[in-house]
Structure 1
Amino acid sequence: MCGRYAATADPDELIEAFEVEVDATGETSRSVLVNPQDPPAGTPDYNMAPSKQAPVVLTRVQRGADGTQDESAEPARQLRHLTWGLVPSWAKDPKVGLRMTNARAETLLDKPAFARAAVARRCLVPAAGWYEWQVSPVAKDTKGKPRKQPFYMHRGDGDDIGFAGLYEFWRDKNAAQDDPSAWVVSFTIITTAAEPGLDRVHDRQPVVLERADWREWLDPGTTDPDAVRALLESPGAGRFEAYPIGTEVNTTRNNGPHLLDRLPDEALIGAVNPATGEVLGG
């Protein structure tokens, strides 16, 4: 799964890195959060969690001032703020998004909640890296349960990460026709089996698309299910590095670059080295 990640870039950096043509981050989309987002959407967030609005890249015909699409216009690559947790258009309540933060690549095109979006509404979710919690094979916590050690995963070559994602539009039928906050625009992150090494941390990982595949993934003209499946196939192991970090990341209100600080081996208790399989800290 992917339940937390680091979105550390500001909009200007994302516009350059992802070759964005239209900055649509100012478009109104309803937040599902009870309290104001902290840090605010559009600023670096080192502890991005479900239900927050996050930067997402998609290719779509831009809507005009009257809210309609000019079908004769060319689709443009946009940067938008979308809510993490997919809310299908047919959902009765946007709270369903809490159960749809991830979509499994293996069944993506078979599930009613994801199948239509998989061939029509795909996106990239920019990230510096993501977090997973490793269940210790030997150590227990104070409650007698297996101890969980957080790890941070990132690209070893330092390149930008673009998670494969899907997005959807949901409208509150009780809202006024001209109410822009009637819309919840949401996304989900696609996951797959973890590659060797990372599977010592967790058995799942987000699908990270190579830069060469970004254009085809975002292209609304890519509607063949087999072509979508092919893009989700891993190019092979070895792209990522994983290292242990402090438990401060466990609490979503904690934030800042210090969350990415590496925890020294001597501070570990029963954690498994992802590269070697060695148990550290007894």
Structure 2
Amino acid sequence: MIEILPIPALTDNYIWAITDHKNTVIIDPGDAEPVISFLEERNLTLSGILVTHQHPDQINGIAQLVELQPAIPVWAPANEKIPHATKLLHDGDEVDLAIGGIILKVLDVPGHTKGHIAYIGELPGNQPFLLSGDTLFSAGCGRLFEGTPEQMLSVMRKFRALPDSTWVYCTHEHTLSNLAFAMTVEPANPDIQQRIMDVTVLREQNRPSLPCTIGNEKKVNPFLRWDSLQLKIAVEDWADTQLTDDISIFTAVRKWKDKF
């Protein structure tokens, strides 16, 4: 049985583990200790590391993990500074995890950082999934530290075109705070209201709000709803100006969220 399991780390990070309950690939290990504990408790073998971008909370655990398993591949974006990277990846490249036949496709997703990448794949049973790093969050998207709104909107278009059934695994538990913003933007949206109730129950039980699905994100995530009339009206009211195209709407939503 192939699973993608969360390893809580740092303040609100998730380090994801793709495992067949023997070999295990770790995604964005910002801290080695919880990964080591996870592997030891389950008697798993670390067989590889996937990296989406160069921020410390994605990479600070790599050195210690590689010290434990020096021969493992470290797949990383070619245009980011990733320590111990052994396989540098570009848009369209494929990654064979050697776990259950899973082969990931690499997507360039600049915005949060210039060289950020994401990975898409399928679990057995034709279940699509996305490892989005810090680009797409549930009900949110990453801050634009290096890229432009135009770049991030292009990325969001890529994500919105994925099958609705796609599971999204991002690296932070920001869902409730993101939903609070989404509710401010679209207070009459029943899907946001329902998602808040569902996530509140999960978090009260100390369970992750992730994965989410692309289909649900299209209903609740302001950064995937640039063509929603209700959102446009709200953002124009906040910005106190008329917004005439997708990029101006998206940019205003990002600015609003930055100040929220």
- Greater RCO, 1 or 2 (C-alpha within 8 Å, sep 6+): 1
Normalising by structure 1, what TM-score? 0.25
Instruction: From the two aligned structures, give the one with the greater strand fraction.
Output: 1
Q: Which structure's CA Rg is the greater one?
A: 1
Normalising by structure 2, what TM-score? 0.27
Instruction: From the two aligned structures, give the one with the greater helix fraction.
Output: 2
